[in-house]
Amino acid sequence: MTPIELLLDRASCKTYTTQPLLEDEVRLILQAGQAAPSGRNRQPTAFLAVTDPEIRRTLSRLNAEVLHTDADPFYQAPAVFAVLADPAVSTYLYDGSLAAGQMLLAASALGLGSCWIHRAKEVFATDQGKAILEKAGLPLDYEGIGFVIAGHPAQQPAVKAKTSRVGYLK
């Protein structure tokens, strides 16, 4: 698949097998986030990768609590990434979102399924969320931008029709 086909074919995956990611795959997805452009190259982002089942469970529970549900918001994906960014930097939200987008595409490039999962802001505002950041050596005052889950699809997701408006002035 060409790079352009790869990004046009991306679709959010919401069913995963239990097969774990390889260490190299985890590192490449992190690198793809780090490689994203940022306003004035300030790189106000921080990246967390979690494959540890217990920490993954804690993040899942904290996320589910925001939704008032018992279901796993991470769809049993074996790897959960979080993008955080420094809210003191004016472009932090754009920078963090772009990095997460690159991580989704990196997962596709590796033949993996992936999906953005919301509520990182609320999760990392909690004491338990901050304890996880501390354990990983990440800044505690960064805001959660989004989670990226990744794994091997149990079912290939279908690409959805895209209907956002486009203007093209020639």
Ligand X SMILES: Cc1cc2nc3c(=O)[nH]c(=O)nc-3n(C[C@H](O)[C@H](O)[C@H](O)COP(=O)(O)O)c2cc1C
List interacting residues with ligand X (CB under 6 A). 11-12, 14, 115-118, 157, 160
For ligand X, which is the closer residue by CB, 6 or 22?
6
Long-range contacts of 3-6, Cβ-Cβ distance < 8 Å, separation of 24 or more: 3/109, 6/105, 6/108, 6/109
Nearer to ligand X, 8 or 35 (CB): 8
Which residue number, 48 or 134, has a Cβ lying nearer to ligand X?
48
Dihedral-angle region of residue 45 (phi above 0 means left; psi in -120 to 50 means alpha; beta otherwise): beta
Nearest distance in Å: CB 157, ligand X: 6
| Nearest to ligand X of 61, 118 (CB atom) | 118
Residue 40: name the closest of 104, 86, 101, 105 by CA.
Answer: 86
What tokens does 20 get?
A: 């774990």
Helices (H) and strands (E) in the chain, counts: 6, 4
Please, how many CA atoms are within 13 Å of residue 20, restricted to the half-sphere of its CB?
10
- For the bound state, the minimum distance from the C-beta of residue 166 to ligand X, rounded and expressed in Å, comes to 16
Nearest distance from residue 119's CB to ligand X, in Å? Answer: 6
CB of 106 to ligand X, least distance (A): 15
